[in-house]
Structure 1
């Protein structure tokens, strides 16, 4: 699939096969409208709920969010996806997130409360076993959800020096180093007890980070010091204009490429919240809350349109993965206010994430 001799833009959508999902879906992306058109799907891996693409775009990695816990690699050939080998056990259960860092695939294993590192070979294939597994310890005050650690996300920091993992069960963020394939704890940062941190997004300035909390509908603003590998919580901001009448479980969080806006999704309430970010990165002002376009928004992603000559705030599309209604909905973003406006949707049963490459 090419466009003027270049590889055309693509999206990859993960899903829960146990709930009727098609596995991993490859889709074309219309640069002018942000529309997604599914092209093909592959279902060789159970519950590929989260995905990551190699920098060269030739290999796609997927967790298998099962009790056994595994990660798989697909060779990307235009719109076709081909497994490079059997899924590799990660030494932890229920992996919910993965990222690439320093020649390894890192997985956050929610069920076992751990983070794993699986080496990546020169050709993009995976080694047969993890080189290291770092097990978290601790608990939180929520009787049902925080009896044990539950790592929910793992990613490198913008400087490329550190690995940052978010643990819902221990109300903390861990900063680690990856040395000879092994994860070593550098610092554990405590957040408010009972907040239930789920995902973290860095500001493009590399000096601030925002943690969306699942057990209370808030976002925690933090200052990040890459030199020291230190995260300092500054303040919490409510995601919703009113106290939720029922269950509200925040999920995704993304920051605009120019750092002017931030968006979150909240399940149960089924809404998106848009915030203006202060110039210093440390203040958030909610500018609006809009319906997410479906039911149970599990993940968010951003993508730029193809038109040239735009600022970083223009031509941005916000994508919402609505798990229980089985769709990926996209929104055009107002470059002046940051408010999303629904532009379209595509059906993907039990969808769980979308990434672009």
Structure 2
């Protein structure tokens, strides 16, 4: 099997040069349990292609160029070669995810820095254009009118903090105390860190809390519904696509401070939500009235170190009976069994991921491939067919700052 590999370039404090190609076992095999090997960079992308998605019917790949705030389409020019398709399209600051609709009519980009959810129509060749920004999220745990203003305030705080640090360094030790402490935080409630250790601004004391919107992922559900996560405001929002963009349908407020990050859609009709900050898995489902709600939830493991661990990716097993969740910090994979009608969630294992900072992983039949972002490698773990629990590392190969693995069709 072959996989496209997205990664962080120097623009995101990484070492990747662009999109690479990974081989797991035999190139033409549907299995990925064999030795791993990395080919040369397929296409240069200094803007950091941190997330990759494929068109459902065309040989077109889409990359979220996180450092540039753009979405770039690439067409396959050969079996393992890519070339840019059209010009990059602006999405928003810190675009970190791209999801493509099942019919290939449009894509949705999610932006971590400014909270934007952006719809872009795709033409017959698969080129995106005409970005349409969905209505912004508002904090369900804050003032009713605080949504858009919170993003602006958090960005202003970031600018003041950076300026304060620069002035303090320039003033030297003797005069640094004269610079206002715009970058100070409440020591009793330190800010949490997101990907690459970036501080989540606005998470100070309860009284002065200003929470920024952090859109992180989109997923396409049955019946034309779309779900998006907002990690900063603890929201899962539901939409329907229209000719002019996205029409808001409903939102579900997750527990405050949980940080919903990535989701997976299940044939049972449940949407499983992995929370980055609380390291939990929740099951959401629509009732007979069509209204979505949380129906169950479970912590990944008592071994999770809250405050230092952050969950990253959630994927189902080949038979859709198990969920695997990557946890950075402890560098582990949480294994959760699905039971009953799909709402039953039981944690069964918390095992070593075999690499440092498991940012992304994919399950290919009997194998889990894990992108160790800070270890600069990809590793493979064989899944025990009786228990569904991954074992120790079977193969590994050096890969520069990997953040996303996408199997080739």
TM-score range, shorter chain: 0.7 to 0.9
Richer in strand (by share):
1
Instruction: Tell me the TM-score normalized by structure 2.
Output: 0.76
1:3 matched to which residue of 2? Answer: none
Mapping 1:111-190, distance limit 5 Å: 111-127=113-129, 129-138=130-139, 144=191, 145=200, 147-157=211-221, 159-190=222-253
Separation (CA, whole Å) in 2 of partners of 1:224 and 1:317: 32
1:63 matched to which residue of 2? Answer: 64
Mapping 1:247-326, distance limit 5 Å: 247-304=308-365, 316-326=366-376
Separation (CA, whole Å) in 2 of partners of 1:187 and 1:132: 17
- 8 A contact 2:274–2:282 mirrored in 1: yes
Separation (CA, whole Å) in 2 of partners of 1:44 and 1:94: 15
- 8 A contact 2:378–2:396 mirrored in 1: yes
- 1:57 offset after TM fit, Å? 5.3
- 1:38 offset after TM fit, Å? 2.2
- 8 A contact 1:139–1:149 mirrored in 2: no
- 1:154 offset after TM fit, Å? 1.0
Q: 1:123 to 1:229 in 2, by over 3 A?
A: farther
The ranges of structure 1 where at least 4 consecutive aligned residues each deviate by more than 3 angstroms after the TM superposition are 131-134, 139-146, 227-230
More moved, 136-145 vs 159-168: 136-145
Separation (CA, whole Å) in 2 of partners of 1:243 and 1:168: 19
Q: 1:156 to 1:264 in 2, by over 3 A?
A: same
Mapping 1:1-357, distance limit 5 Å: 9-18=1-10, 19-30=14-25, 31=29, 32=31, 33-41=33-41, 42-56=43-57, 58-66=59-67, 68-76=68-76, 77-90=78-91, 92-101=92-101, 102=103, 103-127=105-129, 129-138=130-139, 144=191, 145=200, 147-157=211-221, 159-205=222-268, 207-224=269-286, 230-244=291-305, 247-304=308-365, 316-341=366-391, 342-357=393-408
- 8 A contact 2:239–2:246 mirrored in 1: yes
- 1:85 offset after TM fit, Å? 2.4
Describe the SS at the equivalent of 2:50: coil
Separation (CA, whole Å) in 1 of partners of 2:123 and 2:36: 32
Describe the SS at the equivalent of 1:148: coil
More moved, 132-141 vs 289-298: 132-141
- 1:245 offset after TM fit, Å? 7.2
Describe the SS at the equivalent of 1:85: strand
| CA distances 1:308-342 after superposition (whole Å, capped 9, x unpaired) | xxxxxxxx321211111111212221222110122
Instruction: Tell me the TM-score normalized by structure 1.
Output: 0.87
Separation (CA, whole Å) in 2 of partners of 1:46 and 1:211: 29
Describe the SS at the equivalent of 1:273: strand
- 8 A contact 1:39–1:79 mirrored in 2: no
- 8 A contact 1:46–1:64 mirrored in 2: yes
Separation (CA, whole Å) in 2 of partners of 1:167 and 1:251: 14
Describe the SS at the equivalent of 1:86: strand
2:147 matched to which residue of 1? Answer: none
Structure 1 segments unaligned to the other structure (5+ residues): 1-8, 305-315
Structure 2 segments unaligned to the other structure (5+ residues): 143-188, 192-199, 204-210
Separation (CA, whole Å) in 1 of partners of 2:46 and 2:122: 18
Separation (CA, whole Å) in 2 of partners of 1:126 and 1:203: 28
CA-based RMSD: 2.1
Count of equivalent residues: 332
